[in-house]
Chain A
Amino acid sequence: MPDAKPQRLSPLQLFLIFTRIALTSFGGGLSGWFMREFVQTRKLMSEEEFLNGLAIAQALPGVNVTNMAIWIGYRMAGRNGAIASFLGIVVPPAFTVVLIGSIFASFSQYPLSHVALDGAASAAIGLSLAMGLTAARRVSRKLFPLMIMAATFVAIGILQWPLLWTVAAAGSLSVAVTYFDT
């Protein structure tokens, strides 16, 4: 079946979905949550469509998570969808972080809370890794894209080069070659 587009969510629904994800995503991995929610569970976007958006959201300046929320929101419900998704992913957790910050003095006395969080974070890495592996599996099986992927991984993960320049260099090289190659 080609990508049919009956996939309309109202801005309110988008706001509630992003709020729920924002408030339950202890330990990070939010973009992985998005993929889970919109691609696998609700089947509102194809994996292809999600990964294309993710590539843009990663390459543009800005925090990936909010970029991706705005991207998804816009595709689902236009301008109001983008606004609702952005507000959902930012505003409720903003209140939460201030609340936790205000009660931190009492919170930090329980070392178990740190242990609980470390455990949550280790499971949450699974969300990022599963998304990374899905993205890698969907890179076309040709030498050049695979080399770009490996080079980006080594530059950032192992050599720890600055993100901005690595993305600018690898991105423009890869896009240029793709453009003239097709």
Chain B
Amino acid sequence: MPTNLSARLCTLVLSLVLIAFALPAFAGPFEDAVAKFANDDYSDTEEAIGAVASSGNKLAFPIINALQDGRLMADPDSKKVYVTGTDGKSIDAATGEAVASVPDSASAVRLNNRLRRSVDAALGSLTLQSPDLGARLQAAQSVFKSHEETALDPVESALAKETNRSAKTALGEARAAILLFKSDATEVQKLEAVATIKARGDQEALALLSDIGTDQPASVAKAATSAIGSIQNSLAVWSTVQNAWYGLSLGSVLLLAAIGLAITFGVMGVINMAHGEMVMIGAYTTFVVQEVIRTRYPALFDYSLLIAVPLAFLVAGAIGVLIERSIIRFLYGRPLETLLATWGLSLVLQQAVRTMFGPTNREVGNPSWMSGAFDLGQITITYNRLWILVFTLAVFMILLAMLRYTALGLEMRAVTQNRRMAASMGIATSRVDALTFGLGSGIAGIAGVALSQIDNVSPNLGQSYIIDSFMVVVFGGVGNLWGTLVGAFTLGISNKFLEPVAGAVLGKIAILVLIILFIQKRPRGLFALKGRAVEA
């Protein structure tokens, strides 16, 4: 941005803030600038942004804001530009007069990444004193990143008025960033700035400090170097924490995928190779639920997952019961045959879904509460991963409680431990078998709901998890839910600590080899069942 704009920009911001009523629009230059939006040329658009932002016109903020949201419409024929409000009403961008409708030939002014940065910078200075705290923080952040000298005065005046502590810190950091790059700032100011940025201590601070260039006074350069060193040290510690978090998160995904298998394989001894397809069915159930919500009840979108969870459980569970009654029950006691039959079943289910929903990926959206991330210290925690971890643990606990405290759980355990004795006691073992298999499949379906949030929803979804799930169950010890839990988190965390060292591919191979070796050492997994059941 040319330096002579600084004064104008400052005027603009002050005028926006101090003078609540409208100033008469500048006659020529502003309108010319606005007309440039209609040229559909990125450099013209960039000039227009600069000119409009510094024009001091009260329309500047709505125009730039609309530009960011794709609501600024330009008609290439008449060179007229319109702002469409969020309420659907439109105004002429040059005059501010309301218009009845935007002509059909008009289309939204296009942006590319360079322009988006200009828009951000312009909006940053325009919204530093917005009444909304979130907007102020964002503005401070974008000034911190762009650290244009022109933003210094607005930042300082905003800083003087700011009462909120976090916004104050953010503004202080933005001010420091500007001073650090301002060629005529004093050495003291710059040293203070380095200290402020050092205190921020994140990767963006690091980026800023690494970028200060060579024309700094020696003391500043030295302070910056030492600040970089200390930030890097603390980030190294944080990266260990981050790896642990990633490991937990990966572990929770593995656990969720494996937990249904721990029931069918671990408790019943049935090797269900179609387990992955139950996960897939859960994911497709989510897709169908979201589709219905999108077309019929768009307002419910944020609840789509809550609706999908019980539905997926029922759908996958019902299919599971059906499979058990029609195939698996004829194969009890023949685990290897079960393996082959269920593998065949998985092929059929995959191709069936491919035929019904098409071979391509289906879009499953993230509800707003599962989007985005927050910072905890210097690590970023994404909401979807966090929720999946919480959800997994909840499912695990409910399952555990169910096995321990309900009549069905009691019967399931009885049948597992001694089928004949249980039958003699009057337990309908075949009913329990069907319900157990249904339970395992239903939980796989629930897993599908969660996995649809982070992975493809495609017919191949299940296959990518099946081998990992078996590894988790076998590693943790068959027939022991706690073993599955420990197994999943051990594998997740060790994978994530191996990945930065060995790379993703080698890391995965290493884990597989380690599991193979581990099984040699403990053929029944981490937590082996003891007693006669082992030799059955």
Partners in one complex: no
Interface residues of B (CB under 8 A from A): none
Interface residues of A (CB under 8 A from B): none
